[in-house]
Amino acid sequence: MIELITAPDNVAAFRVAGTVTADDYEKVIPAIEEKLGDHEDIGVLADLTDFEDMTADALKRDLQYGLSKLSEFHRFKRAAVISDKQWIKAATDMTGMIFPQIDARVFPQEQKAQAMSWVSDIQ
């Protein structure tokens, strides 16, 4: 499940819990597109504290959307990931190496407020 969470106007923010399905992207993608329509550059925050799994269709949808945005990755200035799981930190670090134009950081669960502050500061 993915739910939108309150964030500054230039940030698309989500809380991910349990198993993510392809249908969850019906909320995520329009929220990101709305932010991109309103701002030249945005930040993305994903609270993955309770994330467990992702269906194959969800992974496919995620990759399709990501590939469709390759020419716009420079607009995604910062990505904040909230998680205490080591594998999520490793995946985020790898993503940062593949897409160096996106400043991606992982924050522990107790630093959610700092993560939101950091991701919104994209001047």
Band of the pLDDT at 111, cuts 50, 70, 90?
very high
Band of the pLDDT at 99, cuts 50, 70, 90?
confident
Please give the mean pLDDT across all residues of the chain.
94
Q: Is the pLDDT of residue 123 over 70?
A: no
pLDDT per residue as tens digits for the range 18-74: 999 999 999 999 999 999 999 999 999 999 999 999 999 999 999 999 889 989 988
Q: Is the pLDDT of residue 90 over 90?
A: yes
Q: Is the pLDDT of residue 3 over 80?
A: yes
Q: Is the pLDDT of residue 105 over 70?
A: yes
User: Collapsing DSSP states into helix, strand and coil, what is residue 22?
Assistant: helix
The gap from C-alpha 12 to its chain's centroid, in whole angstroms, comes to 7
How far apart are alpha carbons 84 and 106 in whole angstroms? 8
Q: Read off the CATH number of the domain in which 16 is found.
A: 3.30.750
How far apart are alpha carbons 65 and 47 in whole angstroms? 19
How far apart are alpha carbons 28 and 7 in whole angstroms? 14
Q: Indicate the number of domains in the chain.
A: 1
Domain that holds residue 30: 2-120
The residue-averaged pLDDT of 8-20 equals 97
CB-based contacts of 80, cutoff 8 Å, min separation 6:
43, 44, 45, 46, 104, 105, 107, 115, 116, 118, 119
